[in-house]
């Protein structure tokens, strides 16, 4: 996939809607450097919303 798309992010269809797949390490690094408030809803709300559709999905949330 990386060779086909030149390392650019790729949008794919997931079970609950579109997903962005980051193929380049620099893009992943930039993603995790974003402030948590940019990435996370309130953790309980996010958990409730995602647990039905993607129970094993990754959740970026505020720390306790």
In this prediction, residue 11 carries a pLDDT of 92
Instruction: Report the predicted TM-score, pTM, of the whole model to 2 decimal places.
Output: 0.51
Cα–Cα distance measured from residue 26 to residue 35, given in angstroms and rounded to the nearest whole number = 16
Digit-coded pLDDT (tens) for 9-36: 999 998 878 888 999 999 999 888 887 7
Answer for the pair 27, 33: CB distance below 8 angstroms, yes or no: no
């Amino acid at each position: 996939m990386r060779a086909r798309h030149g390392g650019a992010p790729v949008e794919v269809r997931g079970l609950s809607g579109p997903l962005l797949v980051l193929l380049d390490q620099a893009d992943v690094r930039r993603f995790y450097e974003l402030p948590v408030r940019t990435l996370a809803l309130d953790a309980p709300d996010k958990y409730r919303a995602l647990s039905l559709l993607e129970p094993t999905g990754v959740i970026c949330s505020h720390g306790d």
